[in-house]
Structure 1
């Protein structure tokens, strides 16, 4: 703000007089010129009040650093062409679903357009990971949109080492290689219920227990490589045991809920792939947790 200048002026004062005597006339006296006193004019310099100098801080641009994604998490791009809701129909769109599942790390046997067992299992595993209410293995609108827009590859909780991780909360099995989640399988673990059943290997004997998949850090300690084996509580396919009689094994029933006596069920084709790929050799750590 600038000050307003005040100009102050002074006025001039004038005074005068005549002198005279009584009696004979006197020679006229010249009149004195009236004395005029002019007050000096005083000029007062204008007073200027200047506003204090204000330094305006430059605008500060706040740069928000980009979100840093750990090296163990793999980014993927959203799809340019949206996945269509095909249910369980085979065909060209089913092949796109299979390719997308493989890109996201959900194992399927082939991207051949045949909406078969492993494709349904892969879709179900994806739905479980996303937390959908009814993971049924069908590509509905919700599933199609999620497959289309996902930008980060789903991953296990483990972010270091090489191990198998079993998440009982999500009912999923992960293969973690050097801290990165490479593959995810649909799984079904112990249902937590008590059971009393005949021992399939010892006629006349009865087995009682609780169907629990034990949490903790274990390791593959024995295995049976060929075909179906008669376990105490039923047939199991090419099992890899990691604690007592509890194993990861192939099964013909892998629902979207815990259903086993304690083992970790995966599909028969998935179990063949585990053996053929040698992704789970003896002494592989197996971490089982509740997912909380």
Structure 2
């Protein structure tokens, strides 16, 4: 039986205030969210054919699993973050000309584990990026948030919120929402003790969990369909 305290480490409540989702921001508020963004780029809250085209290209690359509806919502923003990280760019709340050009001919992402199994999951703690490989090619690439690296206490014991590094396998799947002492998790894929990859409504641009690997909700649905018990999971702090 898994110790309750070990399970608690995997549950993913934020350890710091979450950044508000910008999906419904008005134009003035959107500009304030990223004042360095020049006119003509795509921003959270934007709508139209240009956003839909970007969403379709993100989906084709394995970054976006929401609806390609032409609305730059929170799910689209997370996909843009994931793409920017995979291309060596600093993640930002906008898709500028550089991002849109890169989407036309994206650079292939370097694997964390060259020569690893044909089918596997890689978790890059440095870039905060998760990738699912099929036949040695990434088919899902996602922005993520891992252990915050700060102390927390639960049940009279204190520990550091850290995502363990190493070579693991998925040991258990838990569909839908599950709730424990530290919060709720969606479509959980456990890979060491009570630590899991799971969906969350809060996946900020910083490590923020108690140890789990959080991914956006739409991505969690696809991840859960792709990954089964026994799948290798490699957790590394990748190089630059």
TM-score normalised by L of structure 1: 0.63
Q: Deviations over 1:48-93 (max 9, x none)?
A: xxxxxxxxxxxxxxxxxxxxxxxxxxxxxxxxxxxx6222212100
Q: Count residues in correspondence.
A: 197
2:161 to 190, 211, 214: 211
1:37-116 equivalences in 2 (<5 Å): 85-88=41-44, 89-116=46-73
What CA RMSD, in Å, does the superposition of the two structures yield over aligned residues? 1.9
* CA deviation after TM superposition for structure 1 residue 193, in Å: 1.5
Task: Give CA deviations for 1:128-158 in whole Å, capped at 9, x if unaligned.
Answer: 223333x13321344234334x343435334
Distance change >3 Å, CA 105–CA 274, structure 1 → 2: closer
Q: What TM-score does the superposition give when structure 2 sets the normalisation length?
A: 0.75
Q: How does 1:175-186 map to 2 (within 5 A)?
A: 175-186=132-143
- Residue by residue over 1:76-134, the C-alpha shift from the partner in whole angstroms, topping out at 9 and shown as x without a partner, is xxxxxxxx62222121000111122123331332322122222111101112223333x
1:148-173, CA deviations, whole angstroms, 9 ceiling, x for partnerless residues?
A: 4x343435334542111101111011
More divergent stretch after superposition (106-115 vs 120-129): 106-115
More strand by share: 2
Query: Given that residues 80 and 95 in structure 2 are in contact (C-alpha distance below 8 angstroms), is that contact kept between their aligned partners in structure 1?
Result: yes
Q: Does 2:236 correspond to 1:286?
A: no
Could you tell me which runs of 5 or more consecutive residues in structure 1 were left unpaired when the two chains were aligned. 1-83, 199-204
Distance 2:100 2:41 in 1: 5
2:65–2:218 Cα contact (<8 Å) kept: no
Unaligned runs of 5+ in 2: 1-39
- Taking the aligned partners of 1:264 and 1:179, their CA distance within structure 2 comes to 22
Give the number of the structure whose alpha-carbon radius of gyration is greater. Answer: 1
Residue 152 of structure 1 is matched in structure 2 by: 107
1:122·1:137 contact (CA, 8 Å) conserved in 2? no
In terms of fraction of residues, the more helix-rich structure is 2
